[in-house]
Amino acid sequence: MMDTIVKIFQAISATLGIEWAPLHLPLARRLQTLAATTWICLILFGEAFCIFIYVQFLYSSYWWLALLYGAWLLNDLDVCNRGGRIVEWVRNWSLWRYYRDYFPINLVKTAELDTSKNYLFACFPHGVVCSGAFGAFATNALDFYKVFPGMTCNMITLGGHFRVPLFRELVLALGSCASSQESLLYLLDKNKNQGKCVVLFVGGAAEALDSHPGEYKVILSRRKGFVRVAMKSGAPLVPVFSFGETDVYRPLNNSEDSLLRKFQDKVRQITGISPVFPIGRGVFQYSFGVLPLRSPITTVVGVPMEIEKNLDPTSEEVDAVHAEFTRRLIDLFESEKSKYLTDHKNTHLVIT
């Protein structure tokens, strides 16, 4: 009877094209999958879950505790614009090391950084959910402090995350700060900080819509605000590229003239979040799901581009710095791609 059930199950799986994970896998791989599952659940459902928990407290006998926390949150809202609040214990969770090994993710530097300066890391591509950069810069799993001794790191994300009760505490603990000019200038101010690496995804949520396996299409031509911030602060600009970032998910075909793309653009304009509908794998099978695919990601930190401080740059001055940075980003991609991409000869960086 059991053999018959197994055969029926196998036949259905074959018909549907489902490839199941083997039953016997090393414990380390199981833990890596658990870590990746936890991470993607935090990204997709973390905010909704935290709001639900907070509301439950608010309507329980502990309502007073929820009100106290709410009052403290309102008083603490601006911390995301004033340098954040890193908790190294959270950045050192074992969870992140298993997450790193799931893909795996690697961090590579091409030049030393001066600990007396602050740097603006301009990261590309955004990918679907910034898998590589998260492991490299929001956690200590890749030994950032050893790779760049004397430096600390802050990832920049949407300010809305810091208004969600409970969830904001995790985001802050990982070193994230808001994507406002006030926040960036505060972090890059040499009178307030030294040895800061401020990680900014220039393409943002819009770039996620162009994330497809084997393709590297980044939004840079019309993004010049980060250049103005670098010039106002005098912080060197550093091109950072995550090779393999676009290979961990298989988004639906969303050409720019498709109805799906128009819908995605409209939602992004309203919410600031891109509804990408990523296709990855599941926990127990490899054919579909929201887990990222096991595909290596290497985040390469390029050579800093020195910027002369200019509190009120003209459009022409911004354009000149932007053009030079664009050239350096292309040079970084072309010089490093053969090390990390299989089909590197046919893979090119497309800038829009």
Choose among 343, 98, 110: nearest CA to 244.
343
- Whether the CA torsion 267, 272, 274, 280 is positive or negative: it is negative
- What DSSP string runs through 153-201? EEEEE-GGGGGSTTHHHHHHHTT-EESSHHHHHHHH-TTT-SSEEEEEE
What gap in Å lies between CA 270 and CA 261, rounded to an integer?
Answer: 14
User: Could you give the 3-state DSSP secondary structure of residue 218?
Assistant: strand
Weakly modelled stretches of the chain, pLDDT under 50: 6
Structure tokens at 90: 């959270």
pLDDT of residue 266: 75
Rg over alpha carbons for the chain, rounded to the nearest Å, is 22
Spell out the residues 6+ positions from residue 198 whose beta carbon is closer than 8 angstroms to its own: 118, 119, 120, 121, 154, 156, 177, 184, 187, 188, 235
pLDDT of residue 346: 92
What gap in Å lies between CA 352 and CA 221, rounded to an integer?
Answer: 6
Q: Is-contact 115 150, C-beta < 8 A?
A: yes
Choose among 258, 293, 268, 263: nearest CA to 279.
293
Spell out the residues 6+ positions from residue 72 whose beta carbon is closer than 8 angstroms to its own: none
Nearest 5 degrees, angle CA 264-CA 265-CA 267? 65
- Tally of helices (H runs) and strands (E runs) in the chain: 13, 9
Q: Which residue has the tokens 């489902």?
A: 18
Structure tokens at 209: 């819509």
What gap in Å lies between CA 178 and CA 209, rounded to an integer?
Answer: 22
CA 141 to chain centre: 15
User: Could you give the 3-state DSSP secondary structure of residue 98?
Assistant: helix
What are the φ/ψ torsions at residue 217 (nearest 5 degrees)? -115, 115
What are the φ/ψ torsions at residue 9 (nearest 5 degrees)? -60, -45
Spell out the residues 6+ positions from residue 302 whose beta carbon is closer than 8 angstroms to its own: 110, 111, 238, 239, 240, 241, 328, 329, 332
pLDDT of residue 2: 52
pTM for this predicted structure: 0.91
Structure tokens at 313: 């740059």
Structure tokens at 91: 């950045």
pLDDT of residue 6: 47
Q: Is-contact 126 208, C-beta < 8 A?
A: yes
Q: Which residue has the tokens 């009877």?
A: 1
pLDDT of residue 50: 97
User: Could you give the 3-state DSSP secondary structure of residue 146?
Assistant: helix
Provide the 10 A C-beta neighbour count for residue 172. Answer: 20
Nearest 5 degrees, angle CA 194-CA 198-CA 204? 165
